[in-house]
Amino acid sequence: MTDHPPISPIATGLAGKCPRCGQGALFEGFLGLRKNCESCALDFSKADSGDGPAVFVIFIAGFLAVAVAFIARFSWHAPIWAAFLISSTFAIVIILALLRPLKATMIALQYANKAAEGRLEE
């Protein structure tokens, strides 16, 4: 294997590219990972972002959805059902927009920091 220069994990994560070479696609489908990179053959089988991206997305989308609901209700004087509809639609769009880039960024950060499972020292 050739030596790959360090690449920004944030840039590769937001682009959804391989964390080692920055060229190959990371995802197969919306959130499913490929088996390996088509450019550098990096194995993605050990990449696991866990629940981290989902938790960040829930906090971000929840905060923004509540803000939109308050704006719709008290600034635009929308009825409660309309404020709820606007807010929930906004939350769904934000969730779909953020989940994939945050998952890819988490995987890229794990690769950049050589994250591994915890081991007990003897």
Note down the domain range covering 98.
Answer: 9-112
Q: How many domains, in total, are found in the chain?
A: 1
**Reported confidence tier of residue 60, pLDDT bands at 50, 70, 90:** very high
Establish if 27 belongs to a structural domain.
yes
pLDDT in tens, 72-107: 999 999 999 999 999 999 999 999 999 999 999 999
Give the mean model confidence (pLDDT) for residues 56-80. Answer: 97
Nearest to residue 97, comparing CAs of 12, 14, 18, 10? 14
- Its pTM stands at 0.85
- Lowest mean pLDDT segment, chosen from 14-23, 39-48, 86-95, 101-110: 39-48
In 10 A of CB 39, how many CB atoms? 15
In a domain, residue 22? The reply is: yes
Q: Report the pLDDT value the prediction gives residue 2, as an integer from 0 to 100.
A: 58
Give, as one character, the DSSP assignment of residue 6.
P
Is residue 119 one of the residues assigned to a domain? no
* C-alpha to C-alpha distance for 14 and 103, rounded to whole angstroms: 9
Domain for residue 3, yes or no? no
